[in-house]
Amino acid sequence: MRRLLHQVSSIRVRLTLWYVALLAIILLAFSAVLYASLSRSLSQQMDLSLSTEAERLITSLDVENGALHLGEGPDNLRIGTVAALYDRTGQRLVAYDPRQPLPAVPQALGAAAHGQKTYVTGGLPDGMQWRVLSTPVTENGVQIAVLQVGRPAAEMEAALRQLALVLAIVLPLTLVLASAGGLFLAGRALDPIDRITRAAAAIGADDLSRRLNLRGTRDEVGRLAATFDRMLDRLDQAFRRQRQFTADASHELRTPLAMLASQIDVALERKRTPAQYLEVLQSLRDDAARMSQLVSEL
């Protein structure tokens, strides 16, 4: 569990997750736009086809003594197309194919009865969806009927389902491949940082001569490595000065300390008079003063 948390918290994994999340949002948005665009395009194509078929049927209508006669039979309709003719009250006058009713769309009939051309999608009791055009039929500028032309929306729905299936397969596969590629690229990009970390861990206070020497890159990582090398140079120089100071101090203090020890040893070899002890103490004080001056000068 701890190892998993460590992997998730790594920059490599986080960069990949952010990249995949952003890519997923973009792909989902693109898929939604593509689906909506295809749906709109197919709907427009079907509406155009219905409009063309309606115009052809209207031009084939015959009006004799106020009665409408069909100039085209059901055999002359495009395959899958159904049409019906209504009066302005919504009463069906003629059905081109009585065996196949159109969905009930009274609002569209009412709008067409008032001269408005409408496209609607309606369903039959069996659940099949139809695209229906309701258009007014005029004679010498006077509306005499309403024509409805419909076609099943099954082909359009099948195309949309096919697109949805393709997207459902392609999107996850794309995200998986993007995740693998993102991990690989993030690893390549962050590999110099791993090298810096390993090199920094191997450098100790007793050996500051090692350098990263990261060559061939001028990006942020390269500048970081160069800055780290310059910092090591300054630390190395500081440690060298410290060691030199220690050596100089040791050398300068070694002689006075040896003299102090020698005088003390001589004074302790045998008993002496108070005047002699006083002389030794004065000599020790002079040596201590010289050492104090040496320390101040270091």
Q: Retrieve residue 231's tokens.
A: 């910092």
How far, in Å, CA of 257 to CA of 263, rounded?
10
Predicted local distance difference test score (pLDDT) of residue 127: 78
Per the CB < 8 A criterion, the answer to whether 283 and 263 are in contact is yes
The continuous run of DSSP H or E covering 59 comes out as helix 11-59
Q: Pick the range with the lowest mean pLDDT from 122-131, 188-197, 209-218.
A: 209-218
Residue 143: name the closest of 107, 104, 105, 116 by CA: 116
**What's the predicted TM-score (pTM) here?**
0.63
Q: Is the pLDDT of residue 268 over 90?
A: no
pLDDT digits (tens, 9 = 90+) for 92-129: 777 776 566 777 788 888 888 888 899 988 888 777 88
Q: Tally the residues of the chain.
A: 298
Predicted local distance difference test score (pLDDT) of residue 21: 92
Predicted local distance difference test score (pLDDT) of residue 78: 67
Q: Pick the range with the lowest mean pLDDT from 4-13, 163-172, 186-195, 257-266.
A: 4-13
Q: Pick the range with the lowest mean pLDDT from 140-154, 229-243, 255-269.
A: 255-269
Residue 31: name the closest of 175, 152, 153, 158 by CA: 175
How far, in Å, CA of 121 to CA of 153, rounded?
8
Of the two residues 29 and 273, the one the predictor is more confident about is 29
How far, in Å, CA of 209 to CA of 195, rounded?
17
**Domains in the chain, start-ordered, CATH in brackets?**
12-155 (3.30.450), 220-297 (1.10.287)
Per the CB < 8 A criterion, the answer to whether 145 and 159 are in contact is no
Of the two residues 77 and 82, the one the predictor is more confident about is 82
Backbone angles phi, psi at 161, to 5 degrees: -65, -40
Predicted local distance difference test score (pLDDT) of residue 1: 47
Which residues partner with 200 through β-bridges? Answer: none
Residue 139: which pLDDT band, with cuts at 50, 70 and 90?
Answer: confident
